[in-house]
Structure 1
Amino acid sequence: MIIKSILDTDLYKFTTSYAYIKLFPYAMGTFTFKDRDETEYPDAFVEALKEEVKAMSSLRLTTGEIRFMSGACRFLPPFYWEWLSSFHFDPEKIRIERDEQHHLHVEVSDFMYKVTLYEVPLLAIISELRNRFFGNVANMEQICSKLAEKVQLSDEHKLTFSEFGTRRRFSFNVQDAVISYLNENAHYCAGTSNCYFAMKYNMKPLGTHPHEWFMFHGAQFGYKHANYMALENWVNVYDGDLGTALSDTYTSDIFLSNISRKQAKLFDGVRCDSGDEFLFTDRLIARYRELGVDPTTKTIIFSNALDFDKALQIQDYCRGKIRCSFGIGTNLTNDTGYKPSNIVMKLARCKMNVNQPWKECVKLSDDLGKHMGSDQETEACLYELGLK
């Protein structure tokens, strides 16, 4: 059994789930899987995946887990954990199949506050099974040797980072070993996005909101208003907590033009998850100054497929201009000598209630090739935003 706890996921899945409960309790959505490498999966892979999904259905939140999360996440009310203690993954909600080209297709549909919880565990399962089926074996001695070098670089240069590697980890055991080492040795590791390991190693769980929050708002309220309304609604739920704004759902150009002075002052900073980090830094600083906000009081969290050498270059560039931190995922939990899986699950469609028609969801990106959505809806989105 690969997923051993409902907490074996990223914190922002719970914060987003609660935001849906509070503001959009009847909204429904569908998440779809995409393998950007177009991997050909063997016949037995689908059956193994279905067995893992079936095993997930037995997971329940424990009293100890509720106690830890209630103490670590004051911004989530007790009733949310009470509700989550009754939640279970439902295999009937998950459609898994393989097409004629042996490409994997996975789709999950449910109320938004529930369906969002499936994304990270499913990706973690697929990533680990993929390694098993293709005969990839982790060399723990090699992993620890590389990890020691990364931690030494972080300590020497006071480079603050968080572990963000659940969804594309090599395996549960590799992530466990990595976080254990970080907890004992990395002086500038701020925490982990994985709530299970945060509890196991008494670390701080970290995270705010995902692209899906903005994609939902774009589909329901229009792409021009998506960034502004998504941030306003986040403030309505969390009243200033969890104050890192995701900047690239509809390109950083659109985000920077949409962000208001109130939002720029209220949010602690932004997360940069695609594009040229150095260019984005310059443009964000300029926007803060334009809005009368001191950029040295704000923070950029960089999280776009980083390694520690790249993070150090970015830190040097930001010094004296703006604060920075780093969310590092695959380079920590899947740096094994094998090519990591390039897989995602994104919100494909949503509706406000069962009586409304489905609306397609789109995610643009500052990186070429990372747009998500049908060609027709992506074109419509680009046109509405004046990007085409």
Structure 2
Amino acid sequence: MAIIRSILDTDLYKFTTSYAYSKLYPRAYGQFRFIDRAKTRYPEGFAELLRQELQQMAELQLTRDEAQFLTRELPYLPPTYIDFVRGFRFDPDEVHVSQDEEGQLSIVAEGLLYRVTLWETPILALVSELYYKVLGVEPDLAYAEQSIIAKAQRLKEEGITFSMFGMRRRFSSDIEDRVTRLLKEYSGTNFYGTSNVYFAYKHGLRVSGTHPHEWVQFHGAMFGYKMANYMAMEDWINVYDGDLGTVLTDTYTTDVFMRNFSKKHAMLFTSLRHDSGDPLLFADKVIARYRELRVDPQIKYIIFSDSLDAERAIEIAKHCKGRIGTSFGIGTNFSNDVGAGIQPMNIVMKLWKCKMTEKDKWHPCVKLSDVDGKHTGEPEEIDLAQRTLGLI
């Protein structure tokens, strides 16, 4: 049986970003590259097994019930885009997979951005689940369920509002399904929802999510690094007109973002998302910036989503209490805590280059993390971006 069994088995931000590209930049092209930060040596033949899974994804088709769910739960996506998703088919020819003699895996997805962006999260979920399956790693289901129930109850006791952000590095689809059900059962209304559209559909949950680094990366490549955050926010507002009001801050470091964050954007966006660096320091910087802009931080939120577990979320919430609202997106610690000695994968797919039309020249894309060593992109372009932004 195929691992990905529904077009909805993806994170919300893939659909919202796809629609934004289709509305504003329908002729833009992009290339995504797979990055394994742990430099895993994959078993011989892994690339071929992955290609087989990708081929099976070409058969996926949105059902009528799924389309009705999108229409009902994602009202900011217009009927024209829902119709596009109903007719959408994954094209495996857009993805090139190979494996070298040392077992290193290469995955490159390239094509029109409104289409090719939809490959990112399913590919990561495929690699993760397929890796454990090929190695014969079995989850300890009793441990996994006991662990998630304890976390769910602990978060509920502390009054923490949180969402499930666990698809990309999940142990398996089945584990994510079980975890989602248990969080709903044991956390109640403290469990805000899930970023996985399919499991929101299956379990009757809110679909929860933000926008991705790639949106800002694209704007950096097209409009320059100094204007990237500003243009990305302006375009998001133009597309969604106040819906989906969370903005990601660390594509070119949080300090650069804060310089770009105007009062207009501080008022229009409901929340900022933290995804790298010290979360407590980040909260202090955000609160200080809101006050500098004469915006009451207590009417705003921070969504924390960087390598969280329940205890870390509780610590952060206590630091922010009475100062700014908080919510939490907890991912791998929910979807891949399945037994002693089973380590989650450290994998991502990032926008590597883009261009405005097929005939244009490619522009390299980079991401400058708040954590040293997590920058992505070609070294010379990373250096250029850092110099342009005064980071060197």
Normalization by structure 2: what TM-score? 0.98
**Which of 350, 371, 375 pairs up with 1:371?**
375
In structure 2, the partner of 1:180 is 181
In structure 2, the partner of 1:100 is 101
CA drift of 1:183 comes to: 1.7
Query: 1:147-158 residue pairs with structure 2 within 5 A?
Result: 147-158=148-159
In structure 2, the partner of 1:65 is 66
In structure 2, the partner of 1:324 is 326
Tell me how far apart the structure 2 counterparts of residues 91 and 370 of structure 1 sit (CA, whole Å): 29
AA at the equivalent of 2:8: L
Deviations 1:241-300 (A, max 9, x none): 000010100000000011110000110010000000000101110000000100000000
In structure 2, the partner of 1:194 is 196
In structure 1, the partner of 2:284 is 282
CA drift of 1:91 comes to: 1.1
Query: 1:176-255 residue pairs with structure 2 within 5 A?
Result: 176-187=177-188, 188-255=190-257
AA at the equivalent of 2:246: T
In structure 1, the partner of 2:53 is 52
The runs of 4+ residues in structure 1 deviating greater than 2 Å are none
SS at match of 2:348: strand
Deviations 1:58-117 (A, max 9, x none): 001111100001000111101101011111111111100012321000001010000100
CA drift of 1:208 comes to: 2.4
Deviations 1:191-250 (A, max 9, x none): 000000000011000112100000000000000000000000000000010000101000
In structure 1, the partner of 2:348 is 344
Tell me how far apart the structure 2 counterparts of residues 50 and 267 of structure 1 sit (CA, whole Å): 40
Tell me how far apart the structure 2 counterparts of residues 106 and 377 of structure 1 sit (CA, whole Å): 21
AA at the equivalent of 1:242: L
Query: 1:82-121 residue pairs with structure 2 within 5 A?
Result: 82-121=83-122
Tell me how far apart the structure 1 counterparts of residues 147 and 31 of structure 2 sit (CA, whole Å): 38
AA at the equivalent of 1:204: R
AA at the equivalent of 2:374: K
In structure 1, the partner of 2:312 is 310
- 8 Å CA contact retained: 2:43, 2:103: yes
Tell me how far apart the structure 2 counterparts of residues 55 and 196 of structure 1 sit (CA, whole Å): 18
Is residue 2:143 matched to residue 1:142?
Answer: yes
In structure 2, the partner of 1:360 is 364
Mean CA deviation greater in 95-104 or 256-265:
95-104
Count the aligned residue pairs: 388
CA drift of 1:367 comes to: 1.3
Tell me how far apart the structure 2 counterparts of residues 135 and 128 of structure 1 sit (CA, whole Å): 11
AA at the equivalent of 2:33: T
Tell me how far apart the structure 2 counterparts of residues 182 and 78 of structure 1 sit (CA, whole Å): 32
AA at the equivalent of 2:329: G
AA at the equivalent of 2:272: V
Tell me how far apart the structure 2 counterparts of residues 245 and 91 of structure 1 sit (CA, whole Å): 31
Is residue 2:267 matched to residue 1:260?
Answer: no
In structure 1, the partner of 2:30 is 29
Q: For structure 1, which runs of at least 5 residues remain unmatched after alignment?
A: none
CA RMSD of aligned residues (A): 0.7
CA drift of 1:126 comes to: 0.2
Tell me how far apart the structure 1 counterparts of residues 135 and 333 of structure 2 sit (CA, whole Å): 20
Mean CA deviation greater in 5-14 or 125-134:
125-134
Query: 1:284-303 residue pairs with structure 2 within 5 A?
Result: 284-303=286-305
Tell me how far apart the structure 1 counterparts of residues 286 and 185 of structure 2 sit (CA, whole Å): 35
SS at match of 2:326: strand
Tell me how far apart the structure 1 counterparts of residues 37 and 210 of structure 2 sit (CA, whole Å): 25
In structure 1, the partner of 2:336 is 334
Deviations 1:350-373 (A, max 9, x none): 000011100000001111221000
Q: For structure 2, which runs of at least 5 residues remain unmatched after alignment?
A: none
CA drift of 1:149 comes to: 1.0
Tell me how far apart the structure 1 counterparts of residues 95 and 153 of structure 2 sit (CA, whole Å): 43
CA drift of 1:7 comes to: 0.3
Mean CA deviation greater in 127-136 or 287-296:
127-136
In structure 1, the partner of 2:124 is 123
Tell me how far apart the structure 2 counterparts of residues 76 and 208 of structure 1 sit (CA, whole Å): 14
Tell me how far apart the structure 2 counterparts of residues 20 and 154 of structure 1 sit (CA, whole Å): 36
Mean CA deviation greater in 134-143 or 109-118:
134-143
In structure 2, the partner of 1:132 is 133
SS at match of 1:313: helix
CA drift of 1:134 comes to: 2.2
- 8 Å CA contact retained: 2:246, 2:270: yes
